[in-house]
Amino acid sequence: MDSEPLTEPPPDAHCVEYAVPNDLAVLRDIVGRHAQAAGLSEDKTAALMLAVNELASNTIEHTDDGGSLRIWIHGGALVCQIEDRGRLEAAIGRSMPSEPGSRGYGLPLVTRLTDHAVCLSGPAGTRWQLRMRLKGFRPGRLDGAQHH
């Protein structure tokens, strides 16, 4: 987890709202399609899908309003932004729970599964940005990939 500032999504970033558990499969599918179109390996695609699923699951479990997922390419990376109106205390730097079977594995896993994770939480809500580096990225190579 780095302290790098969040990147604002471009106007053409793919955006989808979610609010109920059945929406999670749709989010995983969208992330998987974008990751494959961007050229991520199967392992990195699966890791990104799992990280997004974990954050969206937290939104559904801990907020009343649901959230949004935006996906785009920036600086040679596929970016997934998960945003909701919940407030998160001390998301970053959490260690794995010491008791087997206990809760609390999700956020530490999110930061381990992605190449880069940034979280900003305050009175207006919480915004995560997850990034996976793209091998051999050349600007323009993936034109339209973020519009599916």
CATH number of 14-136: 3.30.565.10
Q: pLDDT tens-digit profile of 20-65?
A: 999 999 999 999 999 999 999 999 999 999 999 999 999 999 898 8
* Bridging pattern class, strands 116-122 and 77-84: unpaired
The whole model's pTM is what? Answer: 0.82
Is residue 56 within 8 Å of residue 30, measured between CB atoms? no
Task: Classify residue 18 as exposed, middle or buried by CB count within 10 Å of its CB (0-12, 13-18, 19+).
Answer: buried
Q: How far apart are CA 31 and CA 48, in angstroms?
A: 7
Q: Minimal CA–CA distance to 47: which of 119, 148, 136, 131? A: 131
Q: Minimal CA–CA distance to 62: which of 103, 30, 101, 31? A: 103
Q: How far apart are CA 3 and CA 108, in angstroms?
A: 16
Q: pLDDT tens-digit profile of 90-146?
A: 544 545 445 555 555 678 889 899 999 999 988 999 999 999 999 876 555 444 443
Report residue 30: phi and psi, to 5°.
-65, -45
State the Cα angle at 71 between 68 and 72, rounded to 5°.
145
Report residue 113: phi and psi, to 5°.
-80, -25
